[in-house]
């Protein structure tokens, strides 16, 4: 067998494990949704809480009655590690956010990205195409709203095109309409506010008369700006904020 035909079993195993993890998460959350519907929960927040807690397992008697603890209560007292070491490690993990699956993204989003600014930066770092690939099957319950809130709270004029690309990719993911309908009231308001900010960033462009050479060069990019406006109008319909 030629060298080019050698199979990377480690890569295949990693890919298989990631697929299994994502499939288990999907089945677990879907089962939780069905249970919540059957229980006729009183509010959306209760429904969301049931789904987000679907990965938790009930404590056994040994866990509550003095069972052996393998993890210290105060992780900062671990011998050989300092607060600075842990801060450096967390900082490196944030910088190197490169999830290959939706499960890895969800884990890093929850574990390492606590502030809205960190989450916004991570979304820009990954970009629309990458996010669309990660969530091509489903964004995941509760996550779409958190993504929209992070974008709404930190969007800037310089990032307008990138944010539009992210919104377009998210709108192309599986079960997008369902996830959109499950947004909380606050998340829907953030989504509406995000589009208002994007719309306000559409500043009037000067006409070609009286423009110098540099300004004329910028004006040649107006076709791209017109494309942004068409995309924005399309997204307003998809996100139901018209």
User: How much is the pLDDT for 153?
Assistant: 96
Kindly tell me if the per-residue pLDDT of 57 is higher than 70. Answer: no
CB atoms near residue 50 (< 10 Å): 17
Mean pLDDT of 162-184: 94
Query: Is 69 contained in some domain?
Result: no
Query: Is 154 contained in some domain?
Result: yes
Angle ∠(233,238,242) on CA atoms, nearest 5? 55
Query: Is 61 contained in some domain?
Result: no
Query: Is 186 contained in some domain?
Result: yes
Query: Is 162 contained in some domain?
Result: yes
| Cβ-based burial of 25 (10 A; exposed 0-12, middle 13-18, buried ≥19) | buried
Distance CA 14, CA 29 (A): 23
Query: Is 187 contained in some domain?
Result: yes
Query: Is 134 contained in some domain?
Result: yes
pTM above 0.85, yes or no: no
DSSP class of 54: T
Mean pLDDT of 20-32: 80
Residue 41: pLDDT band with limits 50, 70, 90: low
Distance CA 44, CA 33 (A): 11
Residue span of the structural domain in which 124 resides: 115-205+222-242
**Count of domains in the chain?**
1
Kindly tell me if the per-residue pLDDT of 15 is higher than 60. Answer: yes
């Amino acid at each position: 067998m030629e060298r080019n035909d050698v199979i990377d079993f480690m890569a295949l195993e990693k890919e298989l494990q990631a697929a299994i993890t994502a499939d288990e998460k999907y089945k677990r959350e879907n089962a939780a949704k069905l249970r919540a519907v059957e229980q006729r929960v009183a509010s959306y927040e209760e429904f969301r809480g049931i789904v987000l807690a679907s990965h938790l397992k009930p404590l056994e008697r040994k866990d509550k009655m003095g069972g052996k603890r393998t993890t210290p209560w105060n992780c900062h007292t671990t011998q050989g590690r300092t607060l600075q070491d842990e801060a450096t490690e967390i900082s490196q993990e944030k910088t190197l956010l490169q999830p290959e699956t939706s499960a890895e993204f969800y884990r890093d989003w929850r574990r390492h990205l606590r502030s809205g600014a960190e989450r916004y930066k991570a979304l820009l770092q990954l970009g629309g195409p990458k996010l669309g690939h990660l969530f091509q099957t489903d964004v995941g319950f509760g996550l779409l709203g958190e993504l929209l809130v992070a974008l709404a709270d930190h969007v800037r004029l310089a990032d307008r095109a990138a944010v539009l690309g992210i919104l377009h990719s998210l709108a192309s993911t599986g079960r997008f309409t369902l996830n959109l309908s499950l947004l909380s009231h606050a998340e829907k308001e953030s989504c509406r506010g995000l589009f208002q900010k994007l719309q306000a960033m559409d500043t009037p462009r000067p006409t070609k008369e009286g423009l110098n050479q540099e300004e004329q060069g910028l004006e040649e990019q107006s076709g791209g700006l017109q494309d942004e406006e068409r995309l924005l109008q399309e997204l307003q319909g998809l996100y139901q904020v018209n």
